[in-house]
Amino acid sequence: DAGVIQSPRHEVTEMGQEVTLRCKPISGHNSLFWYRQTMMRGLELLIYFNNNVPIDDSGMPEDRFSAKMPNASFSTLKIQPSEPRDSAVYFCATLETGGTDEQYFGPGTRLTVT
Amino acid sequence: DQQVKQNSPSLSVQEGRISILNCDYTNSMFDYFLWYKKYPAEGPTFLISISSIKDKNEDGRFTVFLNKSAKHLSLHIVPSQPGDSAVYFCAASALSGAQKLVFGQGTRLTINP
């Protein structure tokens, strides 16, 4: 398996633009997590899905952030409109429910909003 | 409010010596703890974990110690090797919500030859 795949790896955009980050989970993993990493706060959980259903979105910072998982093999995190303070590395992680508690992380998307 | 704290942003250790990374938590509902390791431009990878029914878990050069009364855990790496240079994240969860991990800010470990 190729592991968790995220795209793009780097995104530079101007304030006010819409940004869409994509994630393809490991096949058979039915839990998916979106995290944001910043220097000050480390890794923060934004939202997670079980079997494509959002379970906990309490970490989503504002209504500008939204996430979807239309099927078991794809998820998106959208920021509209983007702001400079959204600049961070965004990670997607997946987990096989009923297995170990080890979450497998993708390589991340480094987002820069100017 | 940081429920999981790693108060040392960085740590520098001589190759061959012991590295000790520390982590404190505030939520008494946490009963499962993990350490993740992260290299630049990569996602974090799982390193070792411990359940609250134990106070020590060992895996090769890596040992995690848990002090529940102090709400403190530590990761010991001995002997330290240059390849151990990375950012280490401590994470915690409550079994009732085992999927929801709360991470600390991370500690950057540098092993000097």
Candidates A23, A37, A110: best to mutate against B (most CBs of B within 10 A) is A37
CA separation for the pair A46, A28 (Å, rounded): 22
Query: A97 vs B99: CB contact, 8 Å cut-off?
Result: yes
pLDDT reported for residue A1: 66
CA separation for the pair A32, A42 (Å, rounded): 19
Question: Chain B residue with minimal CA distance to A104?
Answer: B45
B70 close contact with A: CB closer than 8 A? no
DSSP state of A65: E
Q: pLDDT confidence of B97, banded at 50, 70, 90?
A: low
Question: Chain A residue with minimal CA distance to B46?
Answer: A102
Query: B43 vs A93: CB contact, 8 Å cut-off?
Result: yes
Of residues B1 and B11, more confidently modeled: B11
pLDDT reported for residue A62: 87
CA separation for the pair A19, B46 (Å, rounded): 29
pLDDT reported for residue A41: 81
Q: Establish whether the linkage from the previous residue to A81 is cis, with ω within 30° of 0.
A: yes
pLDDT digits (tens, 9 = 90+) for A65-107: 999 999 999 999 999 999 999 999 999 999 987 766 789 999 9
Query: Which residues of chain A have a CB within 8 Å of the CB of B43?
Result: 4, 91, 93, 104-108
Please give, rounded to a whole number of angstroms, the shortest distance from the CA of B53 to a CA of chain A: 16
Of residues A39 and B13, more confidently modeled: B13
Query: Which residues of chain A have a CB within 8 Å of the CB of B98?
Result: 101
Residue type, A83: E
Counting residues of chain B whose pLDDT is more than 90, the rounded percentage is 88
pLDDT digits (tens, 9 = 90+) for B56-86: 999 999 999 999 999 999 999 999 999 999 9
pLDDT digits (tens, 9 = 90+) for A12-54: 999 999 999 999 999 999 999 999 998 888 899 999 999 999 9
Query: Which residues of chain B have a CB within 8 Å of the CB of A48?
Result: 99-100
Query: Which residues of chain A have a CB within 8 Å of the CB of B89?
Result: 42-43
* Contact call for residues B79 and B14 (beta carbons, < 8 A): no
Across residues A51-63, what is the average pLDDT?
92
